[in-house]
Structure 1
């Protein structure tokens, strides 16, 4: 059986679709599973266990100049690659016009079918063409977690029960060069490892105050952890530098691609972050993680494991709340040393 997954973007949504691939592998061990995704996220999908072929597209860029010679050439190459194989099953996990177009262009075997969403779920985008293009449009519960949305759609499409155990299948072979970036804790006081503080997000209303990050970083340093600060833009780099300058043991990572970023994250003792694609990568890596929400949407996108918890409050969760949650997810080492620090 040949199965094509269509999930183009964004980073967090791509991560949330990975457990569905692991379910498919369990239900159909011999299946070939290919995935169409935006080029920027392709390095991450290549790390998803069970994905045979990653078909890259650049729809976001192509829409900016749809009639240019370069776009027409790139579109033709993408279409040829997409249609180079015929699929028994095409599953549109995104439910948008652009993903419906890709699903429609994909080649089917004589008995092949396209599956997609028949309805919008809470907090998720949905466009009618996704329903029209699908040979079989499936109605899902409107109140459903983003991970469960993809898992349930695949299970209903191919007639198997969703496995009780959830796995992302995200592979992160550690690059020693990236491990060196993290390993700044030669001083025995910071022997617990590094905690990544994911402060950057594409939406300003999801941010956590810089002063809170500094206070959290001080508590981590006092508890034996060094702090590492990733960034994805000049503004985020300035923020990272501001936080690091006020901490005893902190390093600002260089700007990293997804591959290197995955390797770097995998070396961390844990992650504290706002609702962002990078935080969802930490969840997929099964790291101790605290995810910070200024909006009550954690039920839809937040972590669900015992060692991965979300915190929500408005206008923002307090440092104390995040700290206590970190102690809960990180285990006894941090809990035993937490009393060493008395906040100013």
Structure 2
């Protein structure tokens, strides 16, 4: 074990732990099983989480004992847009003041970037821990304790990191995502029109964090058309109203698919009922895995051994020519381009066969 246990004799209150994992959706979801394990092990500990406001819905819960006791909104994207404005300076000071006021015993940077390490440092916790080999190497300069990790998958790495920071062994725990009544009602209304009479539906999520991970829209459209022909309603996840990529998938499907712009909470509610999710290495894929829905995962420049769907029925497609490369190229990676629509359709029906 990399550190001494966080609990010491004579402590007058339960430990207070801050998780720093600002975003994005998939990365937050990947960190949650480790935090869920810590919550199960220590239900009385105070757990806070510093997160971008757009992903806060992933952590919100009305449960008697939620995953985290409090979210701390860190609008880093706004800071990046206006890095030298008075508003940004005031916002940074406010975040620093709020975090320091919580008197955390431990802060764990589960992101490993320069900005996340700066936020963790601002919290002024008694102990600040992070990966010995973070995504951005300068981040490690901020850590008082550097945790070595050897696991292949990022979810298991999260348990190594958080477990090492608290001085205990953690294994991934099931994550209970929030149930929002308004989002559930929205979903039921949507399905009453898009998939009436209880028709089964599949979600297609064509977007990706950068172009190299994005499979062509016309191929997603061919998959949607095949699903529609088999009796499934293909719903295309849109990042926003008027999403050009999502609409291109619908066009390529011959109009058989339906575009669905939705919030994070609404996407959670919709995914809970999906028969299948087809996506690349992106947030909706990892959301479906967290909800234990079947997934067809299309991988190119990222490694499914590290980032692939975890804990759910899946078919992972990656061409042998694909090589790990996190450079944010705009064009689809050549290996990913070798995956055909026919291969994806076959994988989809292989997963759906038991329920057809």
TM-score (normalised: structure 1):
0.84
- The answer to whether the aligner puts 1:317 opposite 2:323 as a matched pair is no
* Stretches (4+) displaced over 4 A: none
Mark the CA change 1:67 to 1:203 in structure 2 (over 3 Å): closer, same or farther: closer
Name the counterpart of 2:247.
238
Q: Distance in 1 between matches of 2:195 and 2:23?
A: 36
- SS of 1:115 mapped into structure 2: strand
- The answer to whether the aligner puts 1:39 opposite 2:47 as a matched pair is no
Of the three residues 195, 202, 222, the one matched with 1:185 is 195
Name the counterpart of 1:68.
85
Assess if the C-alpha contact under 8 Å between 2:59 and 2:178 holds in 1: no
Mark the CA change 1:58 to 1:208 in structure 2 (over 3 Å): closer, same or farther: same
- The answer to whether the aligner puts 1:126 opposite 2:136 as a matched pair is yes
Of the three residues 138, 141, 146, the one matched with 2:147 is 138
- The answer to whether the aligner puts 1:2 opposite 2:16 as a matched pair is yes
Of the three residues 207, 215, 219, the one matched with 2:222 is 215
- The alpha-carbon deviation at position 269 of structure 1 amounts to 2.0
Q: Which runs of 5+ in 1 are unaligned?
A: 335-344
- The alpha-carbon deviation at position 296 of structure 1 amounts to 5.5
Name the counterpart of 2:129.
115
Q: Distance in 2 between matches of 1:238 and 1:306?
A: 29
When the two chains are superposed, the root-mean-square deviation of aligned CA atoms in Å is 2.2
- Show the 5 A alignment for 1:287-298: 287-295=293-301, 297-298=303-304
Mark the CA change 1:80 to 1:98 in structure 2 (over 3 Å): closer, same or farther: same
- The alpha-carbon deviation at position 247 of structure 1 amounts to 4.4
Mark the CA change 1:148 to 1:227 in structure 2 (over 3 Å): closer, same or farther: same
Q: Distance in 2 between matches of 1:58 and 1:210?
A: 31
Q: Distance in 1 between matches of 2:81 and 2:342?
A: 45
- SS of 1:63 mapped into structure 2: helix
- The answer to whether the aligner puts 1:168 opposite 2:175 as a matched pair is yes
- The alpha-carbon deviation at position 166 of structure 1 amounts to 4.0
Mark the CA change 1:211 to 1:100 in structure 2 (over 3 Å): closer, same or farther: closer
Q: Which runs of 5+ in 2 are unaligned?
A: 1-14, 320-334
Of the three residues 195, 199, 202, the one matched with 2:209 is 202
